[in-house]
Structure 1
C-alpha cells in the first residue's frame, strides 16, 4: 500500500534460458517500462516491469545483488529468489549508466535498511530482557512478603506491619504499571507485525499470481521462440540470396569496367580512323588536279604516239629508201644508226612514262 515508484526508464527485457543458462530469451516484444519501487511499510526496494497485463520483472533488491554491464547498452543481474537472471537492453549508453547508478543507490539503501532492521531487532531483544526483569522481581517480592508478614506478626506490632508492607506495595504498583506499558507496547508491535504479515501475504499472493501467469506464458514464449527461429532461418536465407546477388552485382561491375575500358579503346581507334579519313579527304581533293594532269599527259602521250606512228611510217619509208639507196647512202648509215638509237631511247622513255601514268591512275 505504501509502495511508490522512485525511478522509471524504458528497456527491452530478457531472461536467461532456464535449460541452457546461456542464451537470452526475450520477455517483451518491444521496449517496456522498468521502474524502481520503494515500499515504506517494509522498507524494501523492488524492480518491477509490466508488459500489458503480464508481470515480466518482480525482483526484490538485496545487498548481495550486483548489476553488471556486459556491453555499452546491455546490463544484467541475478535474482536468487526468482531463480533467474534478468537482462535489460537500453537505447543508449547514458540510460544504462543511469540505471546502474540507481541500482547501486538502491542496493546501498537496502543494505542500510537491513542494518537498521538488525539493530532494531537487537534493541527489541534487549528491551524484552529488561521487561522480563520486573516480573522476576515481582516473583521474588511475592515470595518474600509472606516471610516479612510472618516475622512482623511474631516479633512486631500492627504499626510495624504497616511500615513494613507499604514500600513493597508501592514497588509492586510501579512494577505493574511498567508491565502494563510493556504489554501495550507489545500489543502495538503485534498489530504492526500483523499489518506487515498481511502485506507480505498480499505480496506473496501477487507473486503467486505473477508466477502462475508467467508459467502460463511459458508455452507462448516457446511458440514465439520457435517463430523467431523460423524467421531467423528465413532471414539467413534472404541474407544468403542477397550475398549471391551482391556477388553477381560485383561481377557485373567488373564486366562494366572492362566494357568501359574497351569502349575507350574503341573511341581512341575511332578518332584515329576519323583522322585517317580526314587525311584521305584532303588527298581526294588533290585527285582532280592529278586527273587533270593525267589527262594532259595522256593527250601528250597520244600526240607522241601519233608522232611515233608518223615516225614509224617515215622510218619504214626511210628503210625502203635506205634499202633502195643503201649503196648510195652507205656513208649516212652510221648517222642513221645513231638516230635510231636515240629514237629507241625516246620511245622507251615514252613507254616508261606511260606505264607510270597507268600505274598512277590505277593507284588513285
Structure 2
C-alpha cells in the first residue's frame, strides 16, 4: 500500500488484496504532507516489525530444532511432567517478540480505527459529492429552463421594441398631422377674416347698386324731360338757342353719368366674379381639410 498525492489537498492509496482505492481530502497541503509522512512511518514500522518477527521466528524455530536434537528426553519430560507455568515460560527473545507483536497489534488497531474513521469521512464525502452532483444536475436543468425563459423574454422584448418603434412612428405622424391641422386652422381663420372683409365690400357694393335704379329713374326722367323739351323746342324755337347750351350740358352730364354707371357696373361684375371664385376656393379648401 503506497500513499500518493494526487493534488495539493488530496491523496489516495490502493489495497490490492481488497481491490479497493481509498482517498482522503485535507483542508491544507501541510496536513496532507503530515499525513503522508505518518503513513509512510507506520508502513515502514510495520514492515520492520514484520521482518523482525520473521527473523525471530526463524531463529526460534532453528533453536528449538537444535534443542530437540540435543535433549529430546528432557524436553519430553518437561512437557509431560512440567507445570503450567513451565509450559508457558519463554526465552527473553520470545518476550521481546511478544511485546513487539503487542505494539504492532496496537498500531494495527490504531490504523484500523483511523481507517474506519477515514472510511466514515470518505462515506460522508461521497454522500456530499452525491448531493452536490444532484444539486449540480438540478442547477443545470434550472439553467436550461432559465436559458429558454431568457430566450422567450428576449423574443418578447424584441417584439415589444418593434411595437414601440411603430407606435413612436405613429405618434410622430400624429404630431405632424396635428401641426398641419393647426396650420390649416390658422389658414381657415385668415380666410374667414378675408371672407368677412369681402362680404363687407359686397355689402357696400350692394348699397351702391341700390342707388343705380334711382340714377336710372333720374336718367329716364331727364330723357322724358328732354323729349318734352324737344317737343317744346318746335314751339319754342326762340328759346332753343338759349336752352341749347343747357341741353348740351345736360347731355354731357348724362353721357358722363352713363360712363360712370358703366364703369361702376364693370367694377361690380368684377367684384362679383372675384367673390364667386373666392367662394369656390373656400369650398374646395374645406373639402380638402
TM-score, structure 1 normalization: 0.43
Partner residue of 1:190 out of 105, 110, 113:
105
Structure 1 distance, partners of 2:202, 2:11, is 108
RMSD: 5.7
- In the other structure, the counterpart of 1:121 is 43
1:281–1:264 distance in 2 versus 1, CA, 3 Å: same
Instruction: Name the counterpart of 2:70.
Output: none
The residue that corresponds to 1:351 in the other structure is: 265
More strand by share: 1
Q: Does structure 2 conserve the Cα–Cα contact (< 8 Å) formed by 1:65 and 1:79?
A: no
- How far off its partner does 1:244 sit? 4.5
What are structure 1's unaligned runs of at least 5 residues?
Answer: 1-60, 68-76, 84-102, 144-174
Structure 2: which 5+ residue stretches go unaligned?
A: 15-19, 67-89, 280-289
The answer to whether structure 1 residue 305 and structure 2 residue 210 are counterparts is: no
- Assess if the C-alpha contact under 8 Å between 1:65 and 1:78 holds in 2: yes
Following superposition, the deviation at residue 256 of structure 1 comes to: 0.4
The alpha-carbon distance between structure 1 residues 187 and 297, as it changes in their structure 2 partners (threshold 3 A), is: same
Alignment of 1:1-364 (within 5 A): 63-65=5-7, 105-123=27-45, 125-126=47-48, 132=55, 176-177=91-92, 179-194=94-109, 196-197=111-112, 200=115, 228=141, 232=144, 236=148, 242-283=153-194, 286=197, 289-290=200-201, 293-314=204-225, 339=252, 342=256, 344-356=258-270, 358-359=272-273, 362=276, 363=278
Deviation, 1:259, is 0.9
- Residue deviations 1:148-171, cap 9 Å, x none? xxxxxxxxxxxxxxxxxxxxxxxx
Cα distance in 1 between the residues matched to 2:105 and 2:26: 34
Distance 1:243 1:263, change over 3 A: same
Aligned residue pair count: 229
Q: 1:306 to 1:115 in 2, by over 3 A?
A: same
TM-score under structure 2 normalisation? 0.51
Distance apart, 1:262 and its partner CA: 0.9
Query: Which structure has more helix as a fraction of its residues?
Result: 2
Change over 3 Å in CA distance of 1:317–1:124 after alignment to 2: same
Displacement of 1:312: 4.3
Task: Report which of the two structures shows the higher radius of gyration computed on alpha carbons.
Answer: 2
Q: Would you say the 8 A contact 1:301–1:354 is kept in 2?
A: no
Q: Is the 8 A contact 1:62 1:107 kept in 2?
A: no
Deviation at residue 258 of structure 1 after TM alignment:
1.1
